[in-house]
Structure 1
Amino acid sequence: MIFQPLTAGLLALCSSTFTSASVIPPLANQGVLNYADHANTAHDIDADSVTRPSWFTSTLMARRLLALSPNGVISTTFPSQIPAWSRTPAEVAGLPIGLREYIADCDGILPEYLSHGDNGDPTILALRIATTFRNTAAGSNLSLEIDWWDHLSEAGAVYPGLPPSPAALPRITLFGYLDPLPELSGIAAVNLEKCFLRSHPDAKYWLPGTPGSPHASFWARLVVTQVYWIGGFGDVQQIGWMNVTEWKGIRRDGSLAGVGDGRGWEDVRLPGEKHPAHGAL
């Protein structure tokens, strides 16, 4: 069967059945989007030179995406019954809502008794008044979506024959639960604040315990239980559920014994990145 180029590309992009255990046909056996007439010739890519990265390399890229991302969209659901005193419309009971929140990859600087070993559980500065955290307090599940779409101008065209396209850039959704951190003091609090404020200097005004803060806040982390990855278009990138053991075993400069080939997320680059990585982490 021969697909029209656009149909084949969309099927590759939208499929939700690919997993690390799936049998994915090689690039030569798949339809390739053909937008040559509209391509940015400065970024033309030879389709024959494009190969799909391994699942472990993709997981390294996903961990790097987390490490470089200052925010993401957290999705929760409203309670099935909205309290009568609430200003939230009763009609949204049980419905999902996605809101962008500040995050940072700071677990590795937490005290040893508290850290999860820098295993990819993002740190979140939670405002008690915010809808996201009111929903989790009421028992909602949550997921966190982060992506590389803001880097389109740097990445340029990354797919053969296609002009620069956000859909060709990676994104992940992390599933799990919110784990509030205990109140920190001394050097532990200083280290966490320094790590988080590196990405969010404005957040110093509503850090936990800040005098005169407009909002009450607390530190929390998303404990990751599942990871869904879309590396780009499915004929040149992996799409599907990642190996959570590999996700949790990757570190910046290497991986735990028995995890992948020993590389860390510093050994890969996302589309458009230069060597070394953007900024100091």
Structure 2
Amino acid sequence: MHLSLTFVSSSLFFLSVLSRETVWDAAAIARRLVDNSTSSIGVMATVFPLDHSSSPAQPFAMQEYYASCHTNGSLTLLFLPISRHSQNILHSNHHAASLSVSSALPAARSPRVSLIGNVTVYTNTTLVPNRNAIQSCYLARHPDARWWLPEDDDAAHIAYWARFDPESVYFVGGFGDKHFIGYIPLEIYQGAPASAEVSLQGGLVEQY
């Protein structure tokens, strides 16, 4: 364990020497990218199950709504079992997924971040921690989602609340001679200051 921590520390120091951004700078930029996205839409990636009829074990990526509603950087999802991503997640042993967010004008010199983690699905809505705050936060980012809310008998599809918890964070700040490129330790990402803008608009809830 000591050797592993030493290696990670040395690697972070080496990257910070090569670039002008430190890993802490990168964490703050990454959190702002996710929290302050004008659309709160990222590109989610999942994997087709092994027994899928036409695309077994193949990757699948498509845009997905999210809302940054937690102080530790976890994200709120509206989970619709009918969607391809939801089906892939449910067939994954660890409910694995990734979500990538880029700057408003994506370019090679612009920052982007990929969050790799797992999804907790609350099929029983009474067990959703801070349910009212979560719903208010999500609707503040996606008002059109009012037509798909869980336990709405008039909704177009069955839906559940879900939480996406990052387990690793990969960041590309831009060109490597100036910007940080590489993994941000999870505790540094989680500890980066949450956006004041999101706190005002949606009401962040404590991690759980």
Q: TM-score normalized by structure 2?
A: 0.80
Residue in structure 2 matching 1:171, options 108, 112, 131: 112
Are 1:105 and 2:64 counterparts? no
> What does the per-residue CA deviation read over 1:14-33, in whole Å, with 9 as the maximum and x for residues that have no partner?
xxxxx624346657xxxxxx
Residue identity matched to 1:236: K
Identity, in percent, stands at 29
Tell me: higher relative CO, structure 1 or 2? Use CA pairs within 8 A at least 6 residues apart: 2
Q: How does 1:27-176 map to 2 (within 5 A)?
A: 52-69=20-37, 70-82=40-52, 90-107=53-70, 118-139=71-92, 141-148=96-103, 150=104, 152=105, 166-176=107-117
Residues 246 and 100 (structure 1 numbering): CA distance in 2 closer, same or farther, change over 3 Å?
A: same
User: 5+ residue gaps in structure 2?
Assistant: 1-10, 202-208
Q: Contact 1:20 / 1:243 at 8 angstroms: preserved in 2? A: no
Structure that is richer in strand per residue: 2
- Partner residue in 1 for 2:14: 22
User: 5+ residue gaps in structure 1?
Assistant: 1-18, 28-51, 83-89, 108-117, 153-164, 253-264, 267-276
Residue identity matched to 2:149: L
Q: Distance in 1 between matches of 2:128 and 2:163?
A: 20
Bigger CA radius of gyration:
1
- Partner residue in 2 for 1:39: none
Q: Contact 2:128 / 2:161 at 8 angstroms: preserved in 1? A: no
Tell me the secondary structure at the aligned position of residue 125 of structure 2.
Answer: coil
- Partner residue in 2 for 1:226: 168
Residue identity matched to 2:83: A
> What does the per-residue CA deviation read over 1:22-60, in whole Å, with 9 as the maximum and x for residues that have no partner?
346657xxxxxxxxxxxxxxxxxxxxxxxx222101101
Q: Distance in 1 between matches of 2:135 and 2:198?
A: 21
Tell me the secondary structure at the aligned position of residue 212 of structure 1.
Answer: coil
Are 1:193 and 2:143 counterparts? no
Are 1:208 and 2:159 counterparts? no
How far the C-alpha of 1:184 sits from its partner, in A, is: 3.8
Residues 233 and 278 (structure 1 numbering): CA distance in 2 closer, same or farther, change over 3 Å?
A: farther
How far the C-alpha of 1:103 sits from its partner, in A, is: 0.3
